[in-house]
Amino acid sequence: MLNRGLDKLELLRIVEAVANEKSIDKELVIGSMESAIQRAALTKFGNDNNIEVKIDRENGEISIMKVLEIVEKVEDPGKEISLEDANSINKKSETLKIGDKLFEELPQVDFGRIAAQSAKQVISLRVKEAEKNRQFEDFIDKQGQILSGIIKRLEYGNVIVDLGRAEGIIKKEELIPREILKNGDRVKAYCYEVKKELKGHQIFLSRAHPQFLAKLFFQEVPEIYEGIIEIKSVARDPGSRAKICVNSKDTSIDPVGACVGMRGSRVQTIVNELHGEKIDIIKWTEDLPTLISESLSPAEIQKVLIDQTNKRIDVILSEENLSKAIGRRGQNVRLASKLTNFEIDILTDKEDSERRQTEFKEKTESLIKNLEVDETLGQLLVSEGFQTVEDISQAEIDNISKIEGIDEATAKELISRAKETLIKEKEEVGKKLKELGVEETLINLKGMTQGMLVILGQKNIKKLSDFADLSSDELIGGFDEIKGKKVRIEGYLEEFSLSREEADNLIMSAREIIYK
């Protein structure tokens, strides 16, 4: 390709063939050839020269030029030339000046076997790099889609899939459990990540990902493809059971029926692809209690108590429905929790009654102890909604005296005792904080209560900088996905029922003070 005898148009035909074969830009192939010829020319004429190579895109003419910069004093003869010498060489009409460049044409020569081999390596390397970049660009657009390919080989439990112009990998943990795949099998998988690395790109596939199920429905149900039905959420226990929540934008179309298909034809196709995975299709509704009840089917729910702030739900049901709601090894409630993005606690009606009685007793005992009232008055206050000392300290006299059996004088005395108790508690907490070594900057942070400060001090979070380094999950708790399982993370201040927004605001306030 680099020899003098090479036909110029033949060069362009080679470029065209390589570009078409590798599906890469023709300009990139020509650029690679120019770099290769430049390297060979430097070998021939000396590496101390500055050489530029240009291939004419129309006729294939190769120009090899030595580039010299015009300077006042020549220090590098291979790359510089004086103005006087440049003017004597220059055959063009324009006047040259210091800083201009003089292009001196070099002869077209046979570069020899070593130079040609070097050039060939440069072209090969550049073309391979371009091919990898092209493949990356092709597949980055396919991230989030189902890809189909032939299993090429198995490596340490991982499956390598031939996708045509590239290979994908299904890691062991992304396979459906107990699924048997063999070399030569055609397989579908969800592309969840395309990563560009030094050695080339990697295409990560999954058959266990929740979105694999969602995309299978997208392929099998025309109404989902057309956007009439939307998938709100998906939860999977791969190879065993899954739940999918769907909603119809057209009230005349039943989303569940559309996903099931005539005699179950649509959903059965998906079940077969997932090797018998049972799929519960749930109709989405804005009414959260109804959605929770449907998600826990076949169990019948009596009552749903929702804590939106902490994303927690208490589900109350009868003893005979307990096992149905929980499911085998907790599968049903775990999937329902993932589907609704709420932590779900299952309680029987008996457990709920016992819990409420325990809470009532604890609150009554707290008022008896702190306000020095008898049991009857304590129970009366709790039953009327005054469940803490803080509730009573902030109440109006009229609101308490409205309660039957409590006159105005008693109401006034209760409020007075409540305020005294809080002042005393504040003094004790202040002393405790001093013993723990909690710094004033953290104590003075707006929105922080003394109870929170004691807990933080006990957790060795004593400085404002310590607090600023925390995340909201560390404060209020949350969930993390570990090996496909949703794991509960307890928060330092979970008992104070902070919302995520309140936790974020506290942390950001600390950071603004620290980093201002």
Question: What is the pLDDT, as a whole number, of residue 171?
Answer: 92
In tens, the pLDDT along 269-298 reads: 999 999 889 999 999 999 999 999 999 988
Question: What is the pLDDT, as a whole number, of residue 206?
Answer: 94
Question: What is the pLDDT, as a whole number, of residue 336?
Answer: 92
CB 279 within 8 A of CB 300: no
In tens, the pLDDT along 236-272 reads: 999 899 999 999 999 899 999 999 999 899 999 999 9
347 HSE (CA, 13 A, CB side): 16
CB 391 within 8 A of CB 362: no
Is residue 464 scored above 70 in pLDDT? yes
Q: Out of 22-26, 55-59, 98-102, 317-321, which region has the weakest mean confidence (pLDDT)?
A: 22-26
Greatest Cα pair distance in the chain:
118
Q: Per residue in 264-283, is it b (16+ CB within 10 Å) or e — as a string? A: eebbeebbebbeebebbbbb
Question: What one-letter code names the amino acid at 506?
Answer: L
Q: Helix (H, G, I), strand (E, B), or coil: what is residue 82?
A: strand
Share of the chain above pLDDT 90, in %: 23
DSSP H or E segment with residue 7: none
Question: What is the pLDDT, as a whole number, of residue 82?
Answer: 83
Confidence of residue 484 (pLDDT cuts 50, 70, 90): low
Of 434, 347, 422, which is closest to residue 389 (Cα–Cα)?
A: 422
Question: What is the pLDDT, as a whole number, of residue 2?
Answer: 44
pTM: 0.58
Question: What one-letter code names the amino acid at 327?
Answer: G
Quote the tokens at residue 230. Answer: 């939307």
In tens, the pLDDT along 147-197 reads: 999 999 998 889 999 988 778 899 999 999 888 888 999 999 999 988 876
Question: What is the pLDDT, as a whole number, of residue 42?
Answer: 79
In tens, the pLDDT along 406-436 reads: 888 888 989 899 899 888 888 888 888 888 8
Q: Out of 68-72, 116-120, 498-502, which region has the weakest mean confidence (pLDDT)?
A: 116-120
DSSP H or E segment with residue 269: helix 265-273
Of 463, 474, 465, 469, which is closest to residue 503 (Cα–Cα)?
A: 474
DSSP H or E segment with residue 233: strand 229-237
Is residue 469 scored above 80 in pLDDT? yes
> What domains sit in the chain, N to C, each tagged with a CATH number?
8-136 (3.30.1480.10), 142-206 (2.40.50.140), 437-516 (1.10.150.20)
Question: What is the pLDDT, as a whole number, of residue 207?
Answer: 94
